[in-house]
Amino acid sequence: MNERPGLAQNGATGPDAYRRLIDRLPVTMRPALNQQLSQWATLFPFEKHIVASLMKGVETLSPSGLGALTAPLWALETKMRVKDWNFSQAYDTIENASQLARSKYYGEWRREVQRVFDALNASVRDATPFHAKQARLMLLVLPRSLPVDAHSAWKQWGPRGHAVKISGDSERLCELVLKGLSSQAEGATQAARQGSFDSSDLWFIDAEAKLGSTLYHRSPIAASSLGYAALKPFRDRFLAELNKAPKNIRATDEIIASLRLESWDGWGLWPAEIANDPRLRKFVIDLFLSGNGALIFSNAFVEWAICEALRRARPQAIVARFGMRSKPKLFTSIAVFENQQKISSLPDVDDPENSAVDAAILARYAWLAASRYPEQEQTLCLCISEHQDTAYVIPPAGKNLGWNPELPIGPEELYSWLETFGVTHIQLSIP
């Protein structure tokens, strides 16, 4: 994996130098940073940039300056008796989180850690922004099979966007966007070979197996592609291993650590689009280990994958498609953590109404996740309900639609409007 040139390359760089700097920080700040260093080869460029900037901040401060900045956190750790805990400095663990959360100083600790991080980042005054202010696209598809409620679908999406009616076949819009992005394939792939484009800039996340049929009739492109359906063999094996965890925090931490380090590649369970991408394989394992239903429900997988891709990679474009889940089978509402296809050999029965409820709120959560980051100002979000042939369109901050949202708009016309922002064109993202 190529590292981008120009990302905090001056001064102390690289995991070994960073480890020495991390040792100067309060104990409770260390596990997350050390964990990232231990996985350096499989971090996304944005994550490396964040660590490098933070380390530059630590390095920039004099010992007395760093001491003054972190003194309240050190004092808090003393009050919390962190040194008496079984606290891992190498990894974030469930036991770490549990010990922190049950401390009566937990809220104060969270605020103090945030203050130190903010101050360290602010101290790097000449830090280069990771991305230029280029437009970004988030396309979220609620497929035709999901009967999303027309009256409530868009009510909670906030004031920045507009509900619009799509005249004609709304599925056409997704096809146009995918083809537009695919047409960038050769250029982006070439750029990726040269190290000036990274596959983490473009994500395709699919609950079923629909996006791929549009994308992969061409040569492979430089993108990160995840499909819940395609991951089924891997998911089944992974869930079986995870369910061996006993009801004990330390044992569970040990199992999670071993799952994280397990060499999954020999099992031959990875789908083709992931098999040759160690960074994406690691992303999937982290996704499943961080929970939030990604192993159990396809729509939770899509939402959590979007959230994590945004947090870890800040991509230029995400296209995500939600899907159908089955109705709970006999007993599975008791043991929902289990694989219901394993629990019961009864055939799966689709649950369109409730899948629509799930997908609708999770699509909004995906936008809310994007809204937490500064890049949201340049982001154009389009959520399409194919069942209603409607969409919720959120233009970049300060931009107008340029057409009357009360009038229906055709898919080609809407696609042309997207093109005016350049969001369907992958751009080289070297600052």
Partner 1 sequence: MDASRRNLLKAASLLLVDHLALAARSTFAAEPGNASRKGDRKVIIVTCGGIRRAETFLDTGLVNIPHLYHDLLPRSVFYPHIRNAGVTSHYNTISSILTGNWQRLDDWGQSPPANPTLFEYLRKRMELSQDDAWLISSNKALTNRIGASSIREFGPRYGANVVFPKQLLINAVIQAASQGHPEHSADRAAMQHELEAILQHADNYEGLGWSVSGDESMLDLRMQASMHQAIEELVRTNAPVTGDEFTFLISEEVMRRFAPSLLAITFSDVEVAHFGSYSMHLAGIRTMDRLVYELWNLVEELPAYRGRTTLFVLPEFGRDFDGSNTNGFFNHRSSDDSTSLTWMMCLGEAARAADVIERPVEHIDLCPTIAAMFGIKGLDLPGKPLPALSA
Q: Strand pairing partners for 138?
A: 318, 381
- Verify binding: residue 147, partner 1, rule CB under 8 A: no
State how far the Cα of 13 lies from the Cα of 277, in Å rounded to an integer. Answer: 25
Sequence-ordered list of residues with C-beta below 8 angstroms from that of 275, at least 6 positions apart, any chain? 265, 281
Tokens of 105: 């100083």
- Verify binding: residue 304, partner 1, rule CB under 8 A: yes
Q: Closer to partner 1 by CB, 89 or 344: give it.
A: 344
Q: Strand pairing partners for 329?
A: none
8 Å CB contact between 158 and 397:
no
State how far the Cα of 245 lies from the Cα of 251, in Å rounded to an integer. Answer: 7
State how far the Cα of 26 lies from the Cα of 48, in Å rounded to an integer. Answer: 21
CB of 52 to partner 1, least distance (A): 22
Q: Report the residue from 63, 107, 266, 402 that binds partner 1 according to the rule CB under 8 A.
A: 107
Q: Which stretch binds partner 1 (CB under 8 A): 164-172, 181-189, 220-228, 354-362?
A: 354-362
- Verify binding: residue 397, partner 1, rule CB under 8 A: no
Q: Closer to partner 1 by CB, 222 or 320: give it.
A: 320
Q: Strand pairing partners for 163?
A: 392
- Verify binding: residue 373, partner 1, rule CB under 8 A: no
Q: Report the residue from 291, 377, 404, 420 that binds partner 1 according to the rule CB under 8 A.
A: 291
Residue written as token pair 């969270």: 110
CA-based nearest residue to 138, from 361, 314, 367: 367
Q: Closer to partner 1 by CB, 3 or 351: give it.
A: 351
Q: Closer to partner 1 by CB, 353 or 412: give it.
A: 353
Q: Closer to partner 1 by CB, 94 or 272: give it.
A: 94
Q: Closer to partner 1 by CB, 348 or 412: give it.
A: 348
- Verify binding: residue 81, partner 1, rule CB under 8 A: no
Q: Report the residue from 53, 70, 93, 103 that binds partner 1 according to the rule CB under 8 A.
A: 103
CA-based nearest residue to 368, from 405, 399, 394: 394
State how far the Cα of 272 lies from the Cα of 231, in Å rounded to an integer. Answer: 10
Q: Closer to partner 1 by CB, 298 or 390: give it.
A: 298
Q: Which stretch binds partner 1 (CB under 8 A): 3-11, 59-67, 259-267, 357-365?
A: 357-365
Helices marked H in 291-348 — which ranges?
298-313, 340-343
Count the Cβ atoms, other than its own, within 10 Å of residue 84: 8
Residues that bind partner 1 (CB under 8 A): 98, 101-104, 106-107, 110, 156, 247-249, 291-294, 296-297, 299-300, 303-304, 307, 325, 327-338, 342-346, 349, 353-355, 357-358, 361-362, 364-365, 368-369, 371-372
